Amino acid sequence: MSRIGKQPIELPSGVNVAISPGRVQVNGPLGELSQNVPARMQIDQDDGTLVVKRPTERGDDRAL
């Protein structure tokens, strides 16, 4: 994974994230956003940050 891809994503105060297999939904003071993601991608939420991890080094996983 690239160096930028390994960085945690910091969430501002007032932003809520709902993670389900294949979907991430973000709600905040500026609106709402939902995004489909491959179910095999691992997204961890911890103390106001998100960390995205890919399962393998295959080309299609690396492209995400």
pLDDT in tens, 45-59: 998 999 998 888 888
Residue 61 lies in a domain: no
Q: Is the pLDDT of residue 10 over 80?
A: yes
Q: What are the φ/ψ torsions at residue 28 (nearest 5 degrees)?
A: -160, -175
The answer to whether position 14 is within a domain reads yes
What per-residue confidence (pLDDT) applies to 1? 55
Residue 60 lies in a domain: no
Nearest of 60, 20, 58 to residue 39 by alpha carbon = 20
Structural domain boundaries enclosing 18: 3-55
Residue 12 lies inside a defined structural domain of this protein: yes
| CATH code: domain of residue 46 | 3.90.930.12
The verdict on residue 26 lying in a domain is: yes
Percentage with pLDDT > 70 across the chain: 95
